[in-house]
Structure 1
Amino acid sequence: MGRFDDLGLKAVQLGKDHLLVITGGTAHIGAASMAYTEADERIVTAQTAAVPGHKEHRLTDLLVRKISRELGITALLVMGIHYDGLDPEEIREISIQTERMIDEYIAGVKGVNP
């Protein structure tokens, strides 16, 4: 079993909107980002809040924009991932895994293979 096997995504659909939560390691709320499409659906606006000292907002802002743009919906992504003593390569691996989870989620909603 790998160090990051407990990374997970939970999602709730609220009408047309989507609430997603990604946690791993010691679960918590580190950051939350909400994105929505403007009237022409080409412009995505996002707002992010982060707990001081946490870095999840670097992922939530980019990923929630992708969700909103790809699905044309309002989305809220909450993330709390904590593992002790991460090196830069491990941080990159977590980033890759969370992006993969979002890509798979989007594909599932669209009904296509990622």
Structure 2
Amino acid sequence: MTVQKFQPEDIELTAMDVGRDLLVLITGGVRHIGAASTAYAEDGNVKAQTSAVPHHKEHTISESIALKLASALGRTVTVVMGIHYDNLSREQIGRVVETVNSKVDEYLLQHI
């Protein structure tokens, strides 16, 4: 993988309507596919399924984001996520998570 210095300001959220559903791509640093989570309504609840590429950690936040978006928007949502920066500290990982959540909140403010 290419060396990528920590620059969370390059994290991007791109969304695309797919019929009634929503596809959300969240990437940053060295962009790739690390995990995909789909959240959907079933029996009055919102459930999710996640697939993760081995040795990637995006699934730790992609599922909660898919659930949040599907619940707020009332539609099926798939979140594909791939963010990579080299040698992150715990604080930097926290900043990545904060940045992603902020991007999701901004999206929701514009679409609810």
Q: Tell me the distance in 1 between the aligned counterparts of 2:22 and 2:108.
A: 11
Q: Tell me the distance in 2 between the aligned counterparts of 1:63 and 1:46.
A: 10
Q: Tell me the distance in 1 between the aligned counterparts of 2:43 and 2:73.
A: 14
Aligned AA for 2:47?
T
**Larger relative contact order (CA 8 Å, sep ≥ 6):** 2
Q: State the Cα RMSD in Å.
A: 1.1
> Which residue of the partner structure matches residue 27 of structure 2?
23
Output one character per residue of 1:23-70: Cα deviation in whole Å (capped at 9) or x when no partner.
000000000000001243xx1110000000000000101110000011
Structure 2 matches for 1:1-114, cutoff 5 A?
3-40=7-44, 43-110=45-112
State the TM-score, normalized to the length of structure 1. Answer: 0.90
Query: What fraction of aligned residue pairs are identical, expressed as a percent?
Result: 44
In structure 1, list runs of 5 or more residues that go unmatched: none
Aligned AA for 2:12?
G
State the TM-score, normalized to the length of structure 2. Answer: 0.91
Q: Tell me the distance in 2 between the aligned counterparts of 1:61 and 1:5.
A: 22
